[in-house]
C-alpha cells in the first residue's frame, strides 16, 4: 500500500495497556481478571492489543465471530460472551471453541436444556440487580442454579451481575445488597465489577472482575481524571496542521455561524474531522494540543478538518504536530466538552484512520 499522505494516526501504546492491567491487579489483588474487549477492544483493535493481554485470566466480549477469531489466533485462555448465545445452533460453536457464556433469561436456559454438547460450557448466570437490561430476577437465582448445575451441557457455574451505578457507594449499595441476598447460600464464584467497580473493589468485591474502559486508560468516573487512578492513555489520536489562517476580528470560522473571532486570530486547520471519528459536537473551547501546547477548537468540526485557535502558539505552522486526545490530553476531557462519554470517542475511530502500535522494547508492524 502507498504511504498514507494524510498524517492522521491512532497510536496504540501497549506499554500503557500493560501498566493499566497492573493497576487493575493492584486494586483486585487475587481476583481473576477478564479484560473486556468488546467492540474490537473499545476501538483499539483486538488483534493489535492481544500481545499485551497475556497476563489476564480471560477476555470478555459480545461478538461470537471475534471470539472464534481469537481461538483461531491461538488464544488459549478463557473467553466469555457477555450477551451469551441467541440461538440454539450457536451452542455447538461455544462448545467447539471453548467459549463461556452468560445466561440471562429463561429462553437461554431452555436452549441449554435441549442441547447435547461435546464439551460442556462455563456458564455465568446473570442476575438483574437494578440495571433492568439483562438478567434474571434475584428471587429466581436458586432455581436457575439448580437447573443449570444439573445439566450435562454445563461444566461450571458462576454468579454475575452488572452494576448500573458502580461509581458511588449510594449508587451501588442497593444492587449489591440484592445480589448478596440472591446468592445467599450459593458458593459459586461471583463476578460483579466493571471498571468503576474495580476502582471500588473493597466495597464491590467478587472473584472475577470485568474491567473495560480503565484498561484503555480512560476514567469510568466523570470528573475523576484517569491519572488519579494511575491509568495511562493507550490510544493517542495524532495529526498535524495542514494550514494556518490569519483571521481578522469579527469573522466567522468554519460552517455556519458557530464561531466568530473576537480578536485578530490565528486559526490552525487540522487534518481530522467527524468522518475520522472526531465528535462533531465538540464545542468551541474543546482542548486540542498543538506543538505540545494547549489550544482550543474554534468553529464547527467538519467532515475532514477541524479548526483551532492558535493565536497564543506563534511557533505553530503547517506541519506542526497535533494531539486530539491521548498521552497529554485525556480523552475524558474531549468527551466532556463534546457532551459524550470517553467510551464513545474511542469506539468511533473510522476505518480510514491509520493505526500504529508502539511498545517499549518491542517492534510492531501494523497492517
Ligand X SMILES: *Cc1c(COP(=O)(O)O)cnc(C)c1O
Nearer to ligand X, 18 or 38 (CB): 38
CA angle 181, 185, 188 (to 5 degrees): 100
Report residue 336: phi and psi, to 5°. Answer: -60, -45
- The verdict on 329 binding ligand X (CB under 6 A) reads no
Question: Residue 213, Cα to own-chain centre: how many angstroms?
Answer: 4
Site string for ligand X, 61-100 (x = CB under 6 A): ---------------------x------------------
Q: Cell 440487580 maps to which residue? A: 129
The DSSP string of 163-175 is: -SSTTSHHHHHHH
Question: Could you tell me which stretch among 110-118, 182-190, 210-218, 298-306 binds ligand X (CB under 6 A)?
Answer: 210-218
Nearer to ligand X, 133 or 137 (CB): 133
Which helix (H) or strand (E) segment holds residue 268: the answer is strand 265-271
- The verdict on 195 binding ligand X (CB under 6 A) reads yes
The radius of gyration computed from the CA coordinates of the chain, to the nearest angstrom, equals 23
Catalytic residues: 38, 255
Nearest one of 315, 233, 223 to 268, comparing CA atoms: 315
| Min separation Cβ 212 and ligand X, Å | 2
Close Cβ partners of 248 (under 8 Å, ≥ 6 residues apart)? 261, 264
Give the burial class of 308: count Cβ atoms within 10 A of its Cβ; 0-12 exposed, 13-18 middle, 19 or more buried.
buried
| Min separation Cβ 160 and ligand X, Å | 8
Residue sitting closest to ligand X (CB): 212
| Min separation Cβ 231 and ligand X, Å | 12
Binders of ligand X in range 234-293 (CB under 6 A): none
| Min separation Cβ 213 and ligand X, Å | 4
Q: Among 84, 135, 217, 220, which residue sits at the site for ligand X (rule: CB under 6 A)?
A: 220
**Alpha carbon of 191 to those of 60, 128, 263: distances in Å?**
12, 13, 56
Q: Among 162, 178, 190, 266, which residue sits at the site for ligand X (rule: CB under 6 A)?
A: 162
- The verdict on 23 binding ligand X (CB under 6 A) reads no
Question: Could you tell me which stretch among 45-53, 205-213, 295-303, 306-314 binds ligand X (CB under 6 A)?
Answer: 205-213
| Min separation Cβ 264 and ligand X, Å | 44
Nearest one of 345, 350, 313 to 329, comparing CA atoms: 345
- The verdict on 43 binding ligand X (CB under 6 A) reads no
Residues within the interface to ligand X (CB under 6 A): 36, 38, 82, 162, 194-195, 210-213, 220
Amino acid at each position: 500500500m502507498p504511504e498514507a499522505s494524510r498524517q492522521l494516526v491512532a497510536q496504540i501504546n501497549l506499554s500503557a495497556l500493560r501498566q493499566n492491567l497492573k493497576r487493575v491487579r493492584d486494586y483486585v489483588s487475587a481476583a481473576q481478571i477478564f479484560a473486556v474487549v468488546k467492540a474490537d477492544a473499545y476501538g483499539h483493535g483486538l488483534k493489535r492489543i492481544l500481545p499485551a493481554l497475556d497476563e489476564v485470566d480471560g477476555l470478555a466480549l459480545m461478538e461470537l465471530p471475534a471470539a472464534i477469531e481469537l481461538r483461531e489466533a491461538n488464544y488459549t485462555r478463557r473467553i466469555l460472551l457477555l450477551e451469551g448465545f441467541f440461538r440454539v445452533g450457536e451452542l455447538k460453536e461455544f462448545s467447539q471453541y471453548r467459549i463461556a457464556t452468560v445466561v440471562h433469561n429463561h429462553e437461554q436456559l431452555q436452549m441449554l436444556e435441549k442441547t447435547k454438547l461435546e464439551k460442556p460450557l462455563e456458564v455465568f448466570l446473570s442476575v438483574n440487580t437494578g440495571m433492568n437490561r439483562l438478567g434474571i430476577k434475584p428471587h429466581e437465582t436458586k432455581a436457575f442454579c439448580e437447573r443449570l448445575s444439573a445439566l450435562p451441557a454445563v461444566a461450571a457455574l458462576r454468579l454475575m451481575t452488572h452494576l448500573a451505578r458502580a461509581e458511588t457507594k449510594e449508587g451501588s449499595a442497593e444492587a449489591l445488597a440484592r445480589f448478596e441476598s440472591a446468592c445467599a447460600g450459593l458458593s459459586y464464584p461471583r463476578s460483579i465489577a466493571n471498571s468503576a467497580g474495580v476502582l471500588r473493589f473493597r466495597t464491590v468485591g467478587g472473584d472475577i472482575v470485568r474491567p473495560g474502559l480503565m484498561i484503555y486508560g480512560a476514567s469510568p468516573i466523570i470528573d475523576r481524571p484517569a491519572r488519579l487512578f494511575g491509568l495511562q492513555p493507550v490510544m493517542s489520536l495524532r495529526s498535524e496542521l495542514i494550514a494556518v489562517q490569519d483571521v481578522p476580528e469579527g469573522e466567522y470560522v468554519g460552517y455556519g455561524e458557530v464561531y466568530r473571532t473576537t480578536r485578530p486570530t490565528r486559526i490552525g486547520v487540522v487534518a481530522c474531522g467527524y468522518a475520522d471519528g472526531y465528535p462533531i459536537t465538540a464545542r468551541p473551547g474543546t482542548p486540542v494540543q498543538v506543538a505540545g501546547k494547549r489550544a482550543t477548537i474554534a468553529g464547527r468540526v467538519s467532515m475532514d478538518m477541524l479548526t483551532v485557535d492558535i493565536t497564543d502558539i506563534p511557533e505553530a505552522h503547517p506541519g506542526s504536530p497535533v494531539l486530539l486526545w491521548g498521552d497529554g490530553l485525556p480523552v475524558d476531557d474531549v468527551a466532556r466538552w463534546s457532551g459524550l462519554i470517553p467510551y464513545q470517542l474511542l469506539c468511533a475511530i473510522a476505518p480510514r484512520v491509520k493505526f500504529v502500535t508502539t511498545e517499549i522494547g518491542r517492534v510492531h508492524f501494523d497492517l
